[in-house]
Each structure stands twice: as structure tokens, then as C-alpha cells.
Amino acid sequence: MSALLSRRLLVVTGKGGVGKTTVAAALGLVAARAGKRTIVAEVAQRGDVASVFDREGSQPFEEVQLAPNLFHISIDPQDALEEYLRDQLPSGAVAEVLIRSRIFAMVAAATPGMRELLTVGKLWELAQLDRRTPGADAYDLVVVDAPATGHGVAVLTAPRTFAAAAGSGPVARQGMIIDAMLSDPEQIAVIAVARAEELAVTETGALRRSLQERMGLPLERVVANALDPDRFSPREATRLEPHASHPAVARALRGHHRALRQRAQLARLRKLTGQAPMHLPLHPGGPDLELLADELQAQL
């Protein structure tokens, strides 16, 4: 089995609109099929992962089973804060006072990186074999449907930023523990999803640099999503050209040229990321999760 699936955390990120959520769900399915008890965690979103699986949005913060071995959770920073306080404070009553305190909520919100820290703290908790959540079972793998590129890195750097700012105290100590996991390539892998379009490719290159600079992490894998089929060889295209007066041939040639432009962007993507991206085809009838998982599995 691929080393990728033996990590604890897979962080899937990419520019908005590239199909991050679908790819995260498909990766989760690959892991689940391989017998890993897997949870796909989406961060501050609205039940997108669940809707990819044709489920109604679940309650935030609930671990919901989607398929055999496959679970889903939507992480909301407010819920994460409440869970954290209940876990940390000796008295439940004190925790409740804080949770209900508007002032506390505001100060927490004002504290730089707090939302990101709480979110990532929950991801860390999910990835522990001995979980802090009472009665919760352990997961073999947490797949994170992370925010768009820039914010994705911000989530990863939150614990160390926070630890540096706080200086001392339990939050700083916990920040350092979490950071140790997030910056350990044995435990975490970052996967970028891109489309074969100029802007998405450029952003993926930038992500690779900022991951290296800010986290010391490599960009583990790149997924080029929604590719048009590379249907015609150059020779076939040449044979088609004289018949472009037939509307279906003209259409096919336009599709061929679109595919060619995508190949050029894929070459850029390869160069900017220093690796061959995995390819996922566009599914004309809408993304088919089982099929996407097959396609990913074959390329892992």
C-alpha cells in the first residue's frame, strides 16, 4: 500500500473551484477501501463533503458514517473552542460560564490565529490513536478538506504562530505539540488539487514554496482535476482538420485544442512542483466518486 495512506493526516488544498472537496472525499474512499478507518474533515464549511456523498448536511461536529470505514465531520471553531474548554477545565461549571460568556467569545476571536488553532487542534485530536474525546474510537487516517490555498497554509502554521505569541501557558505548550505533528512528514502529507489552468497552476507553485518556507514540508502529491480527455493523437487531429465543415468534427477539434492547452498547463504544473501530477478526468455527467477513487487508487 502507498506510503501516503500510512500517514495520520492528509491535507487536501487548492484554489477555490478546483474540486478540492470531491478529491478529498475520493481520497477518503480510497483509504476506506484499503481498510483504513478514515474520517474526512471539512473545515468551517457547510456540509460539502456530505453532499458529495448525497447526504444531507450533518450537524456540525458530529462524526457521521458515510460508508464502510468512512466517516465525516464538519469542524466549526466555536464547537472546537467549547470542546477544548470542557476538556481543559477542571470544572464543567466554569467551562459553561466561559462558553456562555460573550466577552470570552470576543476575546477568543480577537486572539490571533485562535480560530485556526482550534480547528487544527481538533484535526490533531481526531488523528490521535488515544483520543481525548470521551468514548471516541481512533481513526487510522484523517483527510482534511482544507480551506483555499492561502488559508490552508495559515491553518497549518497557526499552532507555531500561537505558541510563539503566547510564550507560556498550556495553549503554547499544546501549540508546540500540535506543531510537532503538523511539521513531521512522517505523519502529515499535503496534497494540492489544481485544474490545468494558468492561475490554478501558478497558485500550486506558490503553495509549494510557502509550504517549504513556512512549514518545512514538501508538497507531497499534486492532483490535476477535471481534465478533458486527450482523445486524438496529432496524426488523427491532422486527419480531422479537412473535415471541420462537419459540425461534430469541428466540435471534436475544439475539444482537442482545449485538451492541448491543458497539456501545456500540465507541463507547467510539473515544472513548478517538481513532480508528475496525478490525473483525474472530467466526468461529463458529474463527478462519480467511486470512479474517481478508482482513478486515484491506480495512481497512488
Partner 1 sequence: MTGLGDRLEGKRICIVAGSGGVGKTTASAALALGLAAAGQRVAVVTIDPARRLADALGLEELGNEPRMVDPAVLGAIAPDTEMRGELWAMMLDAKATFDALIAKLAPDERTRDDVLGNRIYAQLSSAIAGSQEFSAVAKLYDLDRDGGYDAIVLDTPPSRNALDFLDAPDRLTDFFEGRALKLFVVPTGIAARVLGAGTSVVFSILKKLTGVNLLDDVAILFRAMSTLIDGFRERAAAVKALLADPATTFLIVASPQREPVAEAIFFRQKLREAGMPFGGLIVNRVAVLAEDEATDPIAIRAQLRDTLGDALAAKVAQSAEDLQVLAARNAEAVERLKTELDEPDPIIVPRLDGEVQDIDGLLVLYRYLTGTAG
Binding site for partner 1 (CB under 8 A): 15-18, 21, 44-46, 48, 51-52, 88-89, 94, 97-98, 101-104, 106-107, 109-113, 115-116, 147-148, 154, 161, 165-172, 197-200, 202, 229, 231-232, 236, 239-240, 243, 246-249, 251-252, 254-255, 257-258, 261, 282, 284-286
For residue 219, CA distances in Å to 7, 138, 266, 273 come to: 14, 26, 16, 8
As a whole number of angstroms, the distance between CA 173 and CA 163 comes to: 7
CB count within 10 Å of CB 211 equals: 23
Minimum distance of partner 1 from residue 269's CB (angstroms): 14
* Pairing, β 141-145 against β 278-281: unpaired
Residue 282 or 300: which CB sits closer to partner 1?
282
Minimum distance of partner 1 from residue 34's CB (angstroms): 27
Residue 114 or 141: which CB sits closer to partner 1?
114
Minimum distance of partner 1 from residue 115's CB (angstroms): 7
3-state secondary structure of 220: strand
Residue 72 or 115: which CB sits closer to partner 1?
115
Residue 261 or 263: which CB sits closer to partner 1?
261
Residue 141 or 200: which CB sits closer to partner 1?
200
Q: Residues 220, 13: contact at Cβ < 8 Å?
A: no
Dihedral pair phi/psi, residue 141, rounded to 5°: -150, 140
Q: Kindly provide the b/e burial profile for residues 68-104, where b requires at least 16 CB atoms within 10 angstroms of the residue's own CB.
A: ebbbbbbbbbbbbbbbbbeeeeeeeeebeebbeeeee
As a whole number of angstroms, the distance between CA 146 and CA 144 comes to: 5
Residue 1 or 94: which CB sits closer to partner 1?
94
Which uninterrupted H or E stretch holds 196? none
Residue 103 or 129: which CB sits closer to partner 1?
103
CB count within 10 Å of CB 277 equals: 22
Minimum distance of partner 1 from residue 299's CB (angstroms): 22
Minimum distance of partner 1 from residue 189's CB (angstroms): 23
Residues forming beta bridges with residue 191, ordered by sequence position: 12, 221
Minimum distance of partner 1 from residue 31's CB (angstroms): 23
Minimum distance of partner 1 from residue 42's CB (angstroms): 11
Residue 239 or 263: which CB sits closer to partner 1?
239
Q: Which three cell numbers stand for residue 201?
A: 497552476
Minimum distance of partner 1 from residue 198's CB (angstroms): 6
Number of H helices, E strands in the chain: 12, 8
